[in-house]
Structure 1
């Protein structure tokens, strides 16, 4: 389902991932919209694709799948857009003056003849140029968002790409499409690779192979792993990139030299995963070596009290686990579903 309209009010927006709840005005009336809308403000005109859903507390809403930012369709919506705070130096009063003065030519003036803005009281030539530059920069940002959709990079990731590469993102990506592997999550390597091939990059292009190696490791991390066996990684990259084992191994060596990946006991990590694991291990070691201030000397007596007060009889295994918790600062209890891990936790909390 597709709808077009204007955001009249933003009810909520997450500063980290840009998940937004907003009021949206269409020709058919107002509706609440929900979804990821980075770089969006009240007054923006959007084309949304999604579906109507019913929230148990808030009623009917339009859930956004994808969206496109449009140039304001009417002078009223253009005035709202200019006054929404995204262009420094333009408030509601100035926005009204600009639209009243230039009418249908407003966008043309902002883009191509900004010096004319200085004819409006309160805007000098320097401010006019600044207003024009901000207007154009904001619009170029949306070219980047649309461009990234070709790679399957959604609006959440587009914000991250823009923040890393800035307004020249498209030029930088076209120069080296594989840069997206490093700065965006869950990208489609095959789409990036196809674009690079269309740009004339060879199969044995160094950046292609290195990005393929990092992509292979990232594929493993999406399945919950922090590392991948070297032999498996080489096989994966050889098939993905259609290159030789030797070429993969040579680029693994180069990535290790640059500290972008780490090899340990024939396992390959991305450097930041290796550092994270080391950091966790060090913190656990510090905690384990600290004084055990929670230790209860007569733990058996306390367990018996807890059994009586909670009317639960602890098994030998449960007692063993609670003893381990009492004796150690760090204790890991493992097991599959329905093996009473929660009971260990609850009972040890009552005792210790």
Structure 2
């Protein structure tokens, strides 16, 4: 590249000469690239790079106030070293365990152009060299395959505008088979650890030519709707509502959704609870949480309690002192709290939960009870 053109979107090809800084957790790196005999500093979330590797970076030149011209990469494609000199530089960089400069030279001299293929797929051949045990050979190969997997994941997901930081997270979760797993089912990206928007996973699925009524898409759509509603405070959904919402979201018929929901339930990826009103569908973790909470509340409810005398009179005195009357549902909640070992108070915003809690606290303290509040929210936190 003959000149620095600040701000213009460019593609630069070259060989990594030196890695100045690298954060393996985020994929951010600062490194020098030899592009046609010119050395350029490249920065950005590009994943893992090592000296000797061939790179194609896409981005813009920017002028750093302290360090001068830098190429800010938006995307980076990395390939294996293209010749023996680059391979030697790569192996000498310390990127792989147990391989220093001297050992790297021996490997290149012994295996020639096949050395990286040997490391990746036939590592026991490395024991032909003195000082490399089978255990070391396996460790070298595992690290090489891990690095290749990270690069592959970063490059693959980068095509769909998923950052290197996110790609590294995905790789840590799914391991060396990340790209294969995504190709098999791109909708796994809607779950841990990325929680990608369904529409973005749909873009990858379309690239893989997955049909809109494909089982993978419909099942993922059901789980996505359940997770979305869990974020809105709903631990479950009525079956009919879940099926209809999913069909609307996927823009397909309800019959296909109904069939996949039954399969989802059979496979244990969702749970149902049947009541007189119908079936309610849960995500497994929320279903188990509901069961656990119910069991604990039941245990608490079995402890005997002696209700205080004349609760209604105490409520009336409190109303008189405060200058307003409680609604009947609030009085019911106060009575239950004063006469039960456990009570659950629910209600939407502005329904008087905090006022009710304040009344319960006042009566308990007036009767000489010791009160503790754990993680209160809203105005109750001040009390």
Normalising by structure 2, we get a TM-score of 0.54
**Over residues 241-268 of structure 1, what are the superposed CA-to-partner deviations in whole Å (9 max), with x where a residue is unaligned?**
23334655776788789586999xxx99
Please state how far the C-alpha of 1:11 moved relative to its aligned partner: 2.4
Q: Confirm whether residue 121 of structure 1 aligns to residue 130 of structure 2.
A: yes
In structure 2, what is the Cα distance between the partners aligned to 1:225 and 1:81? Answer: 50
Q: Which residue does 2:20 correspond to in 1?
A: 10
Q: Is the Cα contact below 8 Å between 2:189 and 2:196 reproduced in 1?
A: no
Q: Which runs of 5+ in 1 are unaligned?
A: 277-327, 334-347
Look at both structures and tell me which one has the larger radius of gyration over its CA atoms: 2
Matched residue count: 287
Q: Is the Cα contact below 8 Å between 2:58 and 2:75 reproduced in 1?
A: yes
Q: 1:197 to 1:44 in 2, by over 3 A?
A: closer
Q: Which residue does 2:246 correspond to in 1?
A: 237
Please state how far the C-alpha of 1:67 moved relative to its aligned partner: 0.7
Q: Is the Cα contact below 8 Å between 1:32 and 1:60 reproduced in 2?
A: no
Please state how far the C-alpha of 1:225 moved relative to its aligned partner: 5.5
**Over residues 169-208 of structure 1, what are the superposed CA-to-partner deviations in whole Å (9 max), with x where a residue is unaligned?**
344344434323223343513224436754xx78262x43
**Over residues 188-236 of structure 1, what are the superposed CA-to-partner deviations in whole Å (9 max), with x where a residue is unaligned?**
13224436754xx78262x432311333466789xx9666998987655
Q: Which residue does 1:20 correspond to in 2?
A: 28
Q: Which runs of 5+ in 2 are unaligned?
A: 1-9, 274-279, 290-371
Aligned pairs for 1:205-220 (under 5 A) are 205=215, 207-216=216-225
In structure 2, what is the Cα distance between the partners aligned to 1:256 and 1:13? Answer: 42
Q: 1:233 to 1:10 in 2, by over 3 A?
A: farther
Q: 1:52 aligns with which of 48, 57, 61?
A: 61
Q: 1:233 to 1:5 in 2, by over 3 A?
A: farther
Normalising by structure 1, we get a TM-score of 0.58
Q: Is the Cα contact below 8 Å between 1:226 and 1:269 reproduced in 2?
A: no
Alignment root-mean-square deviation, CA = 4.9
**Over residues 111-149 of structure 1, what are the superposed CA-to-partner deviations in whole Å (9 max), with x where a residue is unaligned?**
566565444332356655664565355435544444444
In structure 1, what is the Cα distance between the partners aligned to 2:105 and 2:53? Answer: 16
Q: Is the Cα contact below 8 Å between 1:50 and 1:64 reproduced in 2?
A: yes
Moved more, 230-239 or 55-64: 230-239
SS at structure 2 position matched to 1:169: helix
SS at structure 1 position matched to 2:32: strand
In structure 1, what is the Cα distance between the partners aligned to 2:248 and 2:377? Answer: 42
Q: Confirm whether residue 190 of structure 1 aligns to residue 199 of structure 2.
A: no
SS at structure 2 position matched to 1:243: coil
In structure 2, what is the Cα distance between the partners aligned to 1:229 and 1:247? Answer: 18
In structure 1, what is the Cα distance between the partners aligned to 2:152 and 2:188? Answer: 18
